[in-house]
Chains A and B, each alone.
Chain A
């Protein structure tokens, strides 16, 4: 390992003048700027103290003489309220006056890598870190000096990693420094001081001073990397539904998304990608292109064609008039072919064992065996804001405005595409009009970078909805086969053979296990990489595995003639799962008789450190219209930082899951994605949205994930309710495939 970039590499484009302040606590504008530090060249799992000069920072707070407190957060805001939640965690430990807090997304530099929080810090603390982070951390760590690093917002990690281990300590360390400054100024023991609402008080003498007044005294101190953290019983800010600080901008049109960036002299570019996957440009015939005022050049970068103009509409009209011949690519690709390949792989039986226990073959033979085959389709992300990226390339580097979930990764991909050093590329944070995993990829920054090189002016490259939908990195379509036996009301064996289409998550955090207690198990996969590009989609593999496991659990409950919720309880010794299911039984009125025509379904999935149980209450009309009346969610997500914002993640996840369950399907025909826009890939609307109740189990445990874990259970909860209503077991998604529609 070499030294940290902060030490060895000076930025070629010193846009972020505050960069030099990031190296340690210091003076800024007469106040205190504090960042947490650790050694980037330490790969051991113990210790977390950095040499001062080696320091890189991951969380940062600035306290100004006028008492304003700015919290810099190293994550993207895509609807989670992440900045507010992280600021709450920092302000709590700082003993700050919440009304003085403002938030700002951290500049995109190496100083904000997730890996800082990983090895030296979190693990040394013996804290809970998701296993899936490890490969990423290793990767990031090993390549940190060359700039191949990430600043990821995904995997439901912001609160449970950055917040839990970074923000809290930054706040506490800053508080200790301010208290030390007061102790020095008044020559009193630090233990005689109290901090509250941005004021430090010495009760014995009646003296007090604001954080702002003390801030200029603090920077000379060395921050304590292991400051004392508050007991949760003293929390006054964490656990409160503080209004999200980004929301006022989002009701009056002033929130700036990537799509809204405007630069002097900027042109707009519409982009065409090949319908057939992996095809490239053969020939372009522009004879049909109408001359239009403001029309710029046609750009051919091989993998895509773009037209530039002084308006997006002009560019897109001209692009539509081009006749582009695409060559090569996977022209024979179809959904049937993908399915047939996966079926053949499952039939071949060349399995990789993921979990084996007991003698499942014998157990399956000994009782009545139930079998089921499941199939889920490709799914698009369909963020409300179509993909876009704005670049300005100069003699010394490039400035880029893009909403991205992995900003350093994006910056480095752009640098590589432009043959620049990473430090020559500055990424400017903007709001994301939805992410869901789509905005963690690099295709939508690399292609614009190559287009911008040709255009030679600042340019905003915009994907049409059709291009966005037909060129996604989809949730994989996969097949699964399950078998199980039930004897005397207990599952004696479970077999699950499934296709792993490699959606990008490391195995360590993949949900292959059956989440209930079964003595004989055979869980095995066949890796069958998707021919269509795939990537993380909200909750990643948990949405497929949750559907398989929780639908089959309902099958087995039926076989046992058992109540599906009680049957789950009977097969779990996990106290968190049991508590969620018990609470769900009460909150969903599970034991109360339903009105005629109503039915319920239940499902539970644990993911990203959180356990989520859901009950869907539905009715089905005579012509197969499905109305979801009510969804009850119960979660154990550890400590809840902001209940209102947390609840929004749950209700939103339910809508996201219901949408995909009811309508979601991307199909392939002759190498091309068939669906192009919302009528083909429909979305649940307000009229079809169920009433929702969300209940959080009070917990003092570290926070679990919340952006994703409420997505996986809703699909099986719905299909299990459909089974109760109609006797039809849906094992192939979407539900609309079976003649149902949403009412």
Chain B
């Protein structure tokens, strides 16, 4: 049975095992590879997408669970030539190193700022629990604050 959901503004329909995690459906069946596989147990956050606006780790989320939902991935944040405030802050602070975890970091940050436009350090600590093996954390924290300011200016 096909699962239908909205992905980055388009309605998509996939006919796959309803237990297949959303991550693999989006990466392999739909072909958007910006969202990454890191651990497969929702521990690292590399697979973070927004499901109905909520930052969600999709490596353990059956695609059936998003039937009728609105899903957004890193590719749906902004057109490549007009990056979002968070993406601009990420560039300004030169956040990524290897970059593999950064789609998940950015998605977690976008959701945090949607909910909490001017987060405190404690709120950032609580919301951004993704793993970065390169250790970009100090720049992530700075970039979250910058992104919050850029969003307010917009």
A interface residue numbers (CB < 8 A to B): 78-81, 241, 243-244, 246-257, 259-260, 262, 268, 292-293, 311-314, 382-386, 431-436, 462, 464-466, 644-645, 648, 651-656, 659, 677-679, 683-687, 689, 691-692
Chain A: which residue is nearest B24 at the CB level?
A313
Ordered by A's residue number, 23 sampled pairs between the chains whose C-beta atoms are within 8 Å are A244-B94, A247-B94, A247-B95, A250-B96, A251-B83, A251-B106, A252-B34, A252-B74, A254-B34, A311-B16, A312-B24, A312-B37, A384-B46, A384-B131, A384-B134, A385-B36, A386-B38, A434-B133, A651-B135, A678-B39, A686-B125, A689-B141, A692-B138
The smallest C-beta distance from B90 to any residue of chain A, in angstroms, reads 5
Known A259-B33, A311-B28, A431-B99; contact A253-B73, beta-carbon cutoff 8 A:
yes
Chain B residues in 8 Å Cβ range of A431: 98-100
Residues of chain B in range 35-60 having any CB-CB distance to chain A below 8 Å = 35-41, 43-44, 46
Residues of chain B in range 62-77 having any CB-CB distance to chain A below 8 Å = 73-75, 77
Known A678-B43, A689-B135, A689-B138; contact A255-B78, beta-carbon cutoff 8 A:
no
Known A677-B43, A686-B125; contact A248-B20, beta-carbon cutoff 8 A:
no
Chain A residues in 8 Å Cβ range of B137: 655, 684-686, 689
- Distance, CA A390 to CA B51, complexed state (A): 30
Q: Which of A260, A262, A652, A691 makes the CB contact (< 8 A) with B134?
A: A652
Q: Is B2 part of the contact surface with A, judged by Cβ < 8 Å?
A: no
Q: Is B114 part of the contact surface with A, judged by Cβ < 8 Å?
A: no
Q: For the A-B complex with A385-B36, A464-B40, A678-B44 known, give 5 more contacts whose Cβ atoms are closer than 8 Å.
A: A384-B131, A431-B98, A648-B139, A686-B132, A686-B137
Chain A residues in 8 Å Cβ range of B103: 253
Chain B: which residue is nearest A432 at the CB level?
B98
Chain B residues in 8 Å Cβ range of A262: 31, 33
Known A243-B94, A656-B135; contact A253-B39, beta-carbon cutoff 8 A:
no
Q: Does B97 lie within 8 Å of A678, measured CB to CB?
A: no
Q: Does A382 lie within 8 Å of B133, measured CB to CB?
A: yes
Q: Which of A314, A645, A655, A677 makes the CB contact (< 8 A) with B135?
A: A655
Q: Is B115 part of the contact surface with A, judged by Cβ < 8 Å?
A: no
- Distance, CA A679 to CA B125, complexed state (A): 18
Chain A residues in 8 Å Cβ range of B38: 384-386, 465
Q: Which of B78, B98, B128, B132 makes the CB contact (< 8 A) with A252?
A: B78
Chain B: which residue is nearest A464 at the CB level?
B40
Known A252-B78, A656-B135, A683-B131; contact A465-B40, beta-carbon cutoff 8 A:
yes
Chain A residues in 8 Å Cβ range of B44: 384, 678, 683
Most buried by A among B27, B38, B91, B130: B38
Chain B residues in 8 Å Cβ range of A679: 41, 43
Secondary structure dominating the interface of A? loop
Known A246-B99, A313-B20; contact A79-B138, beta-carbon cutoff 8 A:
no
- Distance, CA A251 to CA B84, complexed state (A): 10
Chain A residues in 8 Å Cβ range of B39: 465, 677-678
Q: Is B3 part of the contact surface with A, judged by Cβ < 8 Å?
A: no
Q: B1-45: contact bitstring with A at CB < 8 Å (1 yes, 0 no)? A: 000000000000000110011001001110111111111110110
Q: Does A257 lie within 8 Å of B100, measured CB to CB?
A: yes
Known A655-B135, A685-B131; contact A677-B102, beta-carbon cutoff 8 A:
no
Q: Does A433 lie within 8 Å of B36, measured CB to CB?
A: yes
Q: Does A292 lie within 8 Å of B129, measured CB to CB?
A: no
Known A311-B24, A434-B134; contact A686-B99, beta-carbon cutoff 8 A:
no
Chain B residues in 8 Å Cβ range of A692: 138
Q: Which of B34, B36, B97 makes the CB contact (< 8 A) with A652?
A: B97
Chain A residues in 8 Å Cβ range of B35: 253
B: interface residue count bin: 35 or more
The smallest C-beta distance from A109 to any residue of chain B, in angstroms, reads 25
- Distance, CA A52 to CA B32, complexed state (A): 47
B interface residue numbers (CB < 8 A to A): 16-17, 20-21, 24, 27-29, 31-41, 43-44, 46, 73-75, 77-78, 80, 83, 87, 90-91, 94-103, 106, 124-126, 128-141
User: Top 8 A-B pairs ranked by shortest CB distance?
Assistant: A253-B34, A655-B135, A433-B100, A250-B99, A79-B97, A79-B98, A687-B125, A652-B135
Chain A: which residue is nearest B78 at the CB level?
A252
- Distance, CA A679 to CA B39, complexed state (A): 10
Q: Which of A383, A462, A652 makes the CB contact (< 8 A) with B136?
A: A652
Chain A residues in 8 Å Cβ range of B28: 268, 311-313
Chain B: which residue is nearest A686 at the CB level?
B137
The smallest C-beta distance from A733 to any residue of chain B, in angstroms, reads 18
- Distance, CA A659 to CA B133, complexed state (A): 9
Q: Does B97 lie within 8 Å of A80, measured CB to CB?
A: yes
Q: Does B96 lie within 8 Å of A433, measured CB to CB?
A: no
Known A311-B29, A431-B98, A433-B99; contact A251-B91, beta-carbon cutoff 8 A:
yes
Q: Does B94 lie within 8 Å of A645, measured CB to CB?
A: yes
Q: Does A253 lie within 8 Å of B74, measured CB to CB?
A: yes
- Distance, CA A638 to CA B78, complexed state (A): 41
Q: Does A252 lie within 8 Å of B129, measured CB to CB?
A: no
Q: Does B32 lie within 8 Å of A678, measured CB to CB?
A: no
Q: Does B133 lie within 8 Å of A683, measured CB to CB?
A: yes
Chain B residues in 8 Å Cβ range of A465: 38-41
- Distance, CA A268 to CA B27, complexed state (A): 12
- Distance, CA A383 to CA B135, complexed state (A): 12
Chain B residues in 8 Å Cβ range of A464: 40
- Distance, CA A293 to CA B29, complexed state (A): 13
- Distance, CA A520 to CA B27, complexed state (A): 62
Q: Which of B17, B31, B125 makes the CB contact (< 8 A) with A292?
A: B17
Q: Which of A260, A678, A691 makes the CB contact (< 8 A) with B131?
A: A678
Q: Does A687 lie within 8 Å of B91, measured CB to CB?
A: no
Known A253-B34, A465-B38, A655-B135; contact A314-B17, beta-carbon cutoff 8 A:
yes
The smallest C-beta distance from B139 to any residue of chain A, in angstroms, reads 7
Chain A residues in 8 Å Cβ range of B27: 260
- Distance, CA A689 to CA B142, complexed state (A): 13
